[in-house]
Structure 1
């Protein structure tokens, strides 16, 4: 499955993407704000790209796509729709540090959400982010998510401490 936008190609990750995923996940923000192993080693990238993400696609639990620039083929981020419950999916994403601030995350996430509305039995898409992740919140707001609240001490981050989380929702148009 491939999605295209004006500037991006979104597709499932392939074996040749392992190094790009490994490099991206060396970023401190990705390691703090997303549930990746810390330290993130090359074998973690291999496990995700070669095993976990294909298995999630095969079982219809998690649709993970890499977003790549059309002009350079560089990885700009990872975007996923993860099944939470019947008709409810969660939008998740991270962006390569060097590619942030160019609107790629909004462009890719919009394409993935549009695909979800058209293809999956979705009536609600949720977005979750640890408070302080203002980049993720800005993307969600640009996509039209309604900030529905802050959950106090919702989860323990990679620093071993509980943190508050924002939650937002987007309902079928």
Structure 2
């Protein structure tokens, strides 16, 4: 993938994550109440946030690359979102996101994902974008449905975190629905 694709919306700057974002990212990922929805265990150390930023940067160099944007609102990082596991032969990828508790409920993630989906369908020539969501994560399910995603079914025990296997619901959006 070429240079990092910075995107702008009415209220957000979607940009590459840097080491300076680690404290804000750590604050989001250490939130034990939200972690069941993120598919990982809560972070316990700032070094884990630095490692995650490195991982997101490495996505762009993988055989099935991805892009993870930092969401900046009023000069501060409030979350991330991204397209990853890009299968160029199938023109498909996965979508993931998270938002700081203080930024939820204001339509910011919807605004960010609309921009990311527009970019993905246009620049990556995607046919299909899918998202996996925990069955009890009602806010994320509602967000995806507002964005035009269709609920397809359940992947039984497809995830593993918090010491046990987790079911995940599959949602998708196709290019002709965009």
Give TM-score scaled by structure 2 length: 0.88
Partner of 2:58: 55
| Distance in 1, Cα, partners of 2:166 & 2:56 | 27
Partner of 1:172: 175
Unaligned runs of 5+ residues in structure 2 are none
Q: Does 1:26 align with 2:30?
A: yes
Q: Does 1:83 align with 2:85?
A: yes
Partner of 1:95: 99
| Distance in 2, Cα, partners of 1:42 & 1:104 | 25
| Distance in 2, Cα, partners of 1:84 & 1:14 | 22
SS in 2 for 1:118: helix
Q: Deviations over 1:43-99 (max 9, x none)?
A: 1101122x2111112336121001111xx2122211010125331111100111111
2:29·2:35 contact (CA, 8 Å) conserved in 1? yes
Partner of 2:159: 155
Q: How much has 1:38 moved relative to structure 2?
A: 3.7
Partner of 1:140: 144
Task: Give the aligned length.
Answer: 169
CA 1:40 to 1:142, structure 2 compared with 1: closer, same or farther past 3 Å?
A: farther
Of the three residues 11, 14, 19, the one matched with 1:10 is: 14
- RMSD of Structure 2 on Structure 1 (CA): 1.6
Runs of 4+ aligned residues of structure 1 deviating over 4 Å after TM superposition are none
1:24·1:96 contact (CA, 8 Å) conserved in 2? yes
Q: How much has 1:149 moved relative to structure 2?
A: 1.2
Unaligned runs of 5+ residues in structure 1 are none
| Distance in 1, Cα, partners of 2:142 & 2:150 | 11
Q: Deviations over 1:97-130 (max 9, x none)?
A: 1111111111101110110011113110001111
| Distance in 1, Cα, partners of 2:39 & 2:154 | 19
